[in-house]
Amino acid sequence: MEIYTTHPRRAELWEKHRTRLEEARTAWHKRTYWYAYPEDQRAYPEAAAAQGEGDFKAQLGRPFDRLRQPARRWLISDEVSPYTREPLGLSYPQTEVSEAIEAAREALAVWRWVPWSERIGLLMESVERFSHRFFEVAHATMHTTGQAWMMAFQASGPHAADRAVEALAVAYEELSHIPEKVRWEKDLGRTRAVVDKYFSPQPEGISLHIGVSTFPVWNVLPGLYASLAVGSPVLIKPHPRAIYPIAVVVAILQELLAEYDLPPTIVQLIVDSVAAPVTRQLAEHPYVRIIDYTGGSEFGAYLESLSGKVTFLEKAGVNSVLIESVEDLGAVAKNLAFSASLYSGQMCTAPQNVYIPKEGVRTATGMLSYAEVAQVLQQAIEELAGHPKAAPAILGALQNDSVAERIHTLEAQVQVRRSAAAYAHPQYPQARTLTPIVAELSGADAPAAHTEHFGPRLLLVPVESARVGLEALYQIAREKGMLSCAIYTADPEFKREAACLLAEAAVPVSFNFQGQVFINQSVAFSDFHGTGGNPAGNASFVDASFIVKRFRWVGVRDCLAG
């Protein structure tokens, strides 16, 4: 008895990509530096940049007609460039929720019975084809999210592709260690029991992936490829203001699936508008069993409350920094200024609270007072924000007006040392920009220290001592959650104490980052993005649970003798 039937052409893709997949799995185990796709633009064909820009410009103001899924109407998107303030003018085929669910159910009946090796081979091929579209997707990301060009290219291109390959490598790990078929035999004395046993990894059901407006590709690809790898069809519901970047990925997948005699509706793009959202309708549908989400904590809590759903959520956290002692405060300040300013603080890993002992900070050249430390940090922000070349390349633009509104609301609640202010973008004079606010709080108990203020901000928090600051940081991690945390100390004992305490709070901590290594960075095949163990999220990119919670092993026993 054979449960799965091999498809020769799909099997060829498995063999084509197996070596790289093995390398990715080895890298995931070793956790050392490795990448599937280089982040340097110069590593790609010389013509790729011009081709990508041309494809982007040709798509503006036109229907996105690359998708292979049924639709009753075309929806003009809410996508507006944060740089030009002009609508992109794209329209997308809009599928009714009921029709999309029915198409996904039909696709599930096919996709779940494709051998896992063939599924992963197909998916690896799709990532390879996606790499030929990195430049177009980078332009689409830049003009939907407000990311500066370099981040848009890396985050939505090679870094996102690496996370997709990482998810496939972990799926390979989890699906391959159980045999598809085994003959079980047991001596019963006068007779011998012989049973053929078959083990089938079966998906939980239909997956829903809810996109975010700031990282529409990077945050979606790990869960998308994890679900597809285990046999689950996927409904992608992008943020209505950032559809284009992930639509390119969906189109590539649909084209490839059709090319290899599979339903393109194994992956579907479900678009909506800000005025008429369909996310709750999708999430509450009984046939949707798996939900991936990145966004605010309130909506994340709603998703977690839904009965019968397996959720993988990245929510808000209050990322914090503690300065106990440093070798070179200037180097530390430049590093933190970059981390706080990168993409105008619109990153889930951007630092917010900086805890500074009132007694001052020990450096290689002596003690610096709290006031001196605060001034050096503020000056580093000033220098970056005022730099005519660095500011546009690092800060980028605000994704939407609510980011600025949130920061201006914060200004009314705190003692402002440096006001948030727009900067003039040299290429896009209409760009929606804002440099970081630097504010000082009354102490660790200040309400502003216990809330995420998503956007360009740095909040200085005076504490009685470094250990008091460490305890305050620990409490916030337990109560509000953190996706990143940085501690600066030259004291080995304090470092060990901090590492152990924060590990108990399931917070990844970065010690003494300076130079070109920043706490914002989460590197595929080496870093786990999130731990899933604190209120900032219940999932991690990409640990084993990110895969195994999406499917179940089902055994079939065929008795031949007994």
Joined tokens for residue 286: 């009984």
Say what the pLDDT of residue 71 is.
86
Say what the pLDDT of residue 431 is.
97
The domain limits of the chain are: 26-75+83-315+540-561, 320-511
Q: How confident is the model at residue 4 (pLDDT cuts 50, 70, 90)?
A: confident
Cα–Cα distances (Å) from 191 to 232, 306, 449, in that order, read 42, 52, 72
Q: Are the beta carbons of 326 and 490 closer than 8 angstroms?
A: yes
Ranges of beta strands (E only) in 400-463 are 415-418, 437-440, 457-463
Q: Are the beta carbons of 176 and 368 closer than 8 angstroms?
A: no
Say what the pLDDT of residue 2 is.
78
Tell me which residue has tokens 């009946």.
109
Average pLDDT over residues 201-209: 97
Q: Where are the alpha helices (DSSP H) in 87-213?
A: 97-111, 116-131, 134-145, 149-156, 158-176
Closest CA to 271 of 301, 313, 235: 235
Domains 26-75+83-315+540-561 and 320-511 agree in fold: no
What would the pLDDT profile of 118-136 be if each residue is shown by its tens digit?
999 999 999 999 999 999 9
Q: Is 527 helix (H, G, I), strand (E, B) or coil?
A: coil
Say what the pLDDT of residue 423 is.
94
Cβ-in-10-Å burial (0-12, 13-18, 19+) of 557 comes to exposed
What would the pLDDT profile of 321-376 be if each residue is shown by its tens digit?
999 999 999 999 999 999 999 999 999 999 999 999 999 999 988 999 999 999 99
Closest CA to 10 of 227, 260, 259, 253: 260
Say what the pLDDT of residue 206 is.
98
What would the pLDDT profile of 315-332 be if each residue is shown by its tens digit?
999 999 999 999 999 999
Closest CA to 340 of 353, 356, 357: 353
Going by CATH, does the domain composed of 320-511 fall within 2.60.40.3140? no
Q: Are the beta carbons of 454 and 377 closer than 8 angstroms?
A: no
Going by CATH, does the domain composed of 26-75+83-315+540-561 fall within 3.60.21.10? no
Say what the pLDDT of residue 486 is.
97
For the chain, count helices (H), then strands (E).
18, 19
Is the model's pLDDT at 303 over the cut of 90? yes
More confident residue, 254 or 2: 254
Say what the pLDDT of residue 505 is.
95
What would the pLDDT profile of 6-36 be if each residue is shown by its tens digit?
899 999 999 999 999 999 999 999 999 999 9
What would the pLDDT profile of 87-97 be if each residue is shown by its tens digit?
999 999 999 99
Tally the residues of the chain.
562
Euclidean distance between CA atoms 249 and 474, whole angstroms: 39
Sign of CA dihedral 218, 220, 224, 226: positive
Q: What would you report as the CA-atom Rg of the chain, rounded to the nearest whole angstrom?
A: 25
Cα diameter, the chain: 89
Average pLDDT over residues 436-453: 96
Euclidean distance between CA atoms 127 and 417, whole angstroms: 46
What would the pLDDT profile of 393-427 be if each residue is shown by its tens digit?
999 999 999 999 999 999 999 999 999 999 999 99
Joined tokens for residue 244: 């284009």
Written in H, E and C, the secondary structure of 294-326 is: ECCHHHHHHHHHCCCCEEEEECCCCCEEEECEC
Q: How confident is the model at residue 312 (pLDDT cuts 50, 70, 90)?
A: very high
Q: How confident is the model at residue 487 (pLDDT cuts 50, 70, 90)?
A: very high
Cβ-in-10-Å burial (0-12, 13-18, 19+) of 382 comes to middle
Q: How confident is the model at residue 562 (pLDDT cuts 50, 70, 90)?
A: confident
Is the model's pLDDT at 1 over the cut of 80? no
Ranges of beta strands (E only) in 339-475 are 353-357, 361-363, 366-368, 415-418, 437-440, 457-463
Count of CB atoms situated within 10 Å of the CB of 238: 28
Closest CA to 310 of 250, 237, 226: 226
Is the model's pLDDT at 155 over the cut of 90? yes
Closest CA to 204 of 554, 556, 532: 554
Q: How confident is the model at residue 70 (pLDDT cuts 50, 70, 90)?
A: confident
Look at strands 206-210 and 234-237 and give their pairing.
parallel
Say what the pLDDT of residue 114 is.
97
Euclidean distance between CA atoms 278 and 285, whole angstroms: 11
Say what the pLDDT of residue 433 is.
97
Is the model's pLDDT at 56 over the cut of 80? yes
Written in H, E and C, the secondary structure of 4-64 is: CCCCHHHHHHHHHHHHHHHHHHHHHHHCCCCCCCCCCHHHCCCCHHHHHHHHHHHHCCCEC
| Mean pLDDT across the chain | 96
Q: How confident is the model at residue 72 (pLDDT cuts 50, 70, 90)?
A: confident
Say what the pLDDT of residue 28 is.
97
